[in-house]
Amino acid sequence: MKRRIIWLIAVMALLAAACGDDGGGGTATTEGTATTEGTEGTEGDLLSAIEEEGVLTVSTDPAYPPQSSLNEETNEYEGFDIDVATAIAEGIGVEVAWEAPAWETIIAGNWNGRWDLSVGSMTITPEREEVLHFSTPYYYTPAVVVVGADDDSISDVTTDLDGQTIGVCGGCTYDSFLQGNLEIPGETFEFVIDDAEIITTDTDTTAIEQLVQGRVAAVMTSATVAQGAIDAGLPVKVVGDPLFYEPLAAAIDASASEDTESFVARVSEIIEGMHEDGSLSELSNQWFGLDLTTKTS
Amino acid sequence: MRERLELLSVGIPFKVKLGIVWGVIALILVFLFSLADFDVEWMVDHLWFITQGLPWTIIICGLAIILAVTLALFGALGRLSNSAVAQGVSSFYTSFFRGTPLIVQMFLIFLALPQLAPPDLPGLRDSLTLTALQAGIIALGLNYGAYMTEIFRAGIQSVGHGQVEAAEALGMTYRQRMRRIVLPQAIRVIIPPTGNEFIAMLKDSALISLLGSVVAQMEIFRRAQLVGRADFRPLEAFVVAAALYWILTTVFQFFQTRLERRLSKGYVRTTIRVTTQPGIEMVESEPA
């Protein structure tokens, strides 16, 4: 009897140890303290909680090169979104830690304090605004149509895609565009593609692989992802002009238990500062080869 | 023609014939593989990175199976008990966790559990907010525990009623009876199917990746998912992961077979070769 109890305790201890030592993800140290002046947090709100803890936990979906992906040699995330988030943490004067939940859980809100901020190339839409607070946009991407490199049948995107099978990532703005119900505050759209047969996938890279296999006639995605695919050597090409531009911003949970107003303001201030001093443009050129940080229409 | 082939093959030992069949199947697989035009170089380059998830897969399943066995034991005892409470709770448990998909259970535990805490108890909410790994292990344990409840119940019932009566006649309490007589004999029946469940769990552990594990704790599938997406080659990455799971389950299957044999030693008569005359062999073997 005694032996069994000891055994049971040993097993529980093992369980507790395993559950205990998985804390958050790796923390990236920031270089220097480039804290910028700005909104101060007040007692009990999210900003001061982050400053006190000394860590900003950011969510990222590392399925999305060149915005966010896993570098297997260093076991660190890397990408445009990663660098922007790291800079925001520096601006607040804290370190950055990462969480990598599924994209659907990020856009649904109700993060339960698992992470504080999402820097994930998220488009501002009215439905998302119901559950999230958005910062100032940090860049704008054109939405483009990608086809196979040898495919010459599609050249005019306003007519040649009608009725075709088009792959998109499920729940993304491209999905809503093809369904004809995309809404972005301050923008109007011409839904030029009619009756597309929409094939949704879990993420953009899967849609592009389906294109390479010939399961879909075209893919609609961000120009940055398209370029990443081309750079990775996949036989695809962009065709036609961009169908729309989307403003991408950082997001904060509207249902967080602490007050988020000062935190949202602070993040927006830092982003605006990065626009002004050119660091955002620099990062954009580094990761995308062009400056996407200014609004074009 | 057929008769000639049969005559020819009589001399070849069965194991060799088996090996030939497997060899042919392997060749067919290699041929299909080459048709599919995978980027094999990429797969070789990233094999080591994906393989590093192996220890985590085993840890996740190891912890989950411990939880599942514990739950299965109590579930089986509950199902067999006379108490309405015990029976009701355990039958609800098995019904729910066998009746809903594992992935839904994982998401519920990961996302919905914290919502259960009232807003004015942030401490409770924090402790209910589990990491992907914790939620995954608990969901796996709960799910497999429900299936294994039936295994344990069958194992306990397989112990002859005469044993239970004898134990009662000797004056043993319920706990003494269970611990000393019933369960030790039930274990022999329980272990083989439990081993199967563990092997099945090795692959279900891949679902944890959908909750989004952190870099320090990535198991095989998560690594394949991330590195595949980073290089726009998700399919190649998943094929590598599939191969790893196959090898892993084969290894565990081998150990399980040995364990089964070891446990059955007292119950299966060994093969007796009785030679009555030179050249004639009579072979006897009987399971208990």
A226 and A255 share one domain: no
Residue located via tokens 């002009």: A241
For residues B245-262, give the mean pLDDT.
90
Nearest neighbour of B229 by CB, restricted to A11, A18, A205: A205
Residue located via tokens 């320090």: B216
The whole-number pLDDT of residue B285 equals: 53
The C-alpha atoms of residue A254 and residue B185 are separated, in whole angstroms, by 57
For residues A254-274, give the mean pLDDT.
89
By percentage, how much of chain B surpasses pLDDT 70?
Answer: 92
Q: Which of A286-295, B118-127, B213-222, B266-275 has the lowest mean pLDDT?
A: B266-275
A50 and A130 share one domain: yes
Long-range pairs for B179-183: beta carbons < 8 A, 24 or more residues apart:
B182/B156, B183/B156
Is A5 part of a structural domain of the chain? no
- What tens digit of pLDDT does each residue of B183-241 get? 888 888 898 899 999 999 999 999 999 888 888 889 999 999 988 888 888 888 999 99
- What tens digit of pLDDT does each residue of A202-248 get? 888 889 988 988 889 999 999 988 988 998 888 999 998 888 888 99
The C-alpha atoms of residue A143 and residue A135 are separated, in whole angstroms, by 21
Which of B129, B218, B232 to mutate to test binding with chain A, by most A CBs within 10 Å of its CB? B232
Å from B279 to nearest chain A CA? 55
A50 and A91 share one domain: yes
Residue A164 has pLDDT above 80, yes or no: yes
Nearest to B248 by CA among B46, B60, B69: B60
A25 shares contact with chain B (CB less than 8 Å): yes
Long-range pairs for B114-121: beta carbons < 8 A, 24 or more residues apart:
B114/A112, B115/A110, B115/A112, B119/A257
A91 and A68 share one domain: yes
A41 and A131 share one domain: yes
Is A19 part of a structural domain of the chain? no
What CATH code is assigned to B54-265? Answer: 1.10.3720.10
Domain span at residue A85? Answer: 27-139+247-288
- What tens digit of pLDDT does each residue of B55-70 get? 999 999 999 999 999 9
Q: Is pLDDT larger for residue B233 or for residue B101? A: B101
Nearest neighbour of B216 by CB, restricted to A14, A25, A70: A25
Residue A212 contacts residue A149 (beta carbons within 8 Å): no
The C-alpha atoms of residue B111 and residue B135 are separated, in whole angstroms, by 9
- What tens digit of pLDDT does each residue of B111-154 get? 888 888 887 777 887 788 888 899 999 999 999 999 999 999 99
Kindly calculate the radius of gyration of chain B based on its CA atoms and give it in whole angstroms: 25
Set of chain B residues whose Cβ sits within 8 Å of the Cβ of A65:
229-232
A205 and A273 share one domain: no
| Pairs of residues, one from chain A and one from chain B, whose beta carbons lie less than 8 Å apart | 100
Set of chain A residues whose Cβ sits within 8 Å of the Cβ of B238:
none
Q: Considering A227, A245, A263, which residue would you say is the last residue of a domain?
A: A245
For residues A141-163, give the mean pLDDT.
86
User: H or E segment at A253?
Assistant: strand A236-253
A112 and A122 share one domain: yes
- What tens digit of pLDDT does each residue of B169-182 get? 999 998 888 888 88
ipTM of the prediction greater than 0.90, yes or no? no
By percentage, how much of chain A surpasses pLDDT 70?
Answer: 86
The model's confidence at residue A20, banded by pLDDT at 50, 70 and 90, is: very low
A205 and A119 share one domain: no
- What tens digit of pLDDT does each residue of B3-22 get? 887 777 777 788 888 999 99
Residue B261 contacts residue B251 (beta carbons within 8 Å): no
Test B215 with A26 for CB contact under 8 angstroms. Answer: yes
Residue of B nearest to A20 (CA): B134
Set of chain B residues whose Cβ sits within 8 Å of the Cβ of A71:
230
Test A100 with B63 for CB contact under 8 angstroms. Answer: no
A266 and A221 share one domain: no
Å from B271 to nearest chain A CA? 37
A236 and A277 share one domain: no
Q: Which of A153-167, A245-259, A268-282 has the lowest mean pLDDT?
A: A153-167
A206 shares contact with chain B (CB less than 8 Å): yes
A205 shares contact with chain B (CB less than 8 Å): yes
A131 shares contact with chain B (CB less than 8 Å): no
- Burial class of residue B108, CB neighbours in 10 A (0-12, 13-18, 19+): middle
Structure tokens at B41: 């170089």
Residue of B nearest to A76 (CA): B215
The C-alpha atoms of residue A259 and residue B56 are separated, in whole angstroms, by 38
As a whole number, the mean pLDDT across chain A is: 83
Residue of A nearest to B118 (CA): A257
Residue of A nearest to B62 (CA): A15
For residue B112, give the DSSP letter: I
The C-alpha atoms of residue B196 and residue B184 are separated, in whole angstroms, by 20
| CB half-sphere exposure, B6, CA atoms < 13 A | 3
Å from A22 to nearest chain B CA? 8
A268 and A121 share one domain: yes
Å from B129 to nearest chain A CA? 7
Nearest to B195 by CA among B139, B144, B143: B144
Residue B226 contacts residue B238 (beta carbons within 8 Å): no
Residue A163 contacts residue A24 (beta carbons within 8 Å): no
Å from A114 to nearest chain B CA? 8
β A117-123/A236-253 pair status? antiparallel
Test B214 with A65 for CB contact under 8 angstroms. Answer: no
Set of chain A residues whose Cβ sits within 8 Å of the Cβ of B124:
none
Set of chain A residues whose Cβ sits within 8 Å of the Cβ of B216:
22, 25-26
The whole-number pLDDT of residue A65 equals: 80
Residue of A nearest to B207 (CA): A102
Nearest neighbour of A112 by CB, restricted to B114, B134, B217: B114
A171 shares contact with chain B (CB less than 8 Å): no
- What tens digit of pLDDT does each residue of A23-56 get? 333 333 333 334 555 666 666 688 888 888 899 9
A260 and A239 share one domain: no
Nearest neighbour of A209 by CB, restricted to B66, B125, B232: B232
Q: How many distinct structural domains can be found in chain A?
A: 2
By percentage, how much of chain A surpasses pLDDT 90?
Answer: 34
Residue B102 has pLDDT above 70, yes or no: yes
The C-alpha atoms of residue B226 and residue A69 are separated, in whole angstroms, by 7
Set of chain A residues whose Cβ sits within 8 Å of the Cβ of B211:
101-102
The C-alpha atoms of residue B185 and residue A146 are separated, in whole angstroms, by 64
The C-alpha atoms of residue A254 and residue A130 are separated, in whole angstroms, by 8
The whole-number pLDDT of residue A37 equals: 56
Å from A2 to nearest chain B CA? 13
As a whole number, the mean pLDDT across chain B is: 87
Identify the CATH number of the domain in which residue A163 sits: 3.40.190.10
Set of chain B residues whose Cβ sits within 8 Å of the Cβ of A15:
63, 66-67
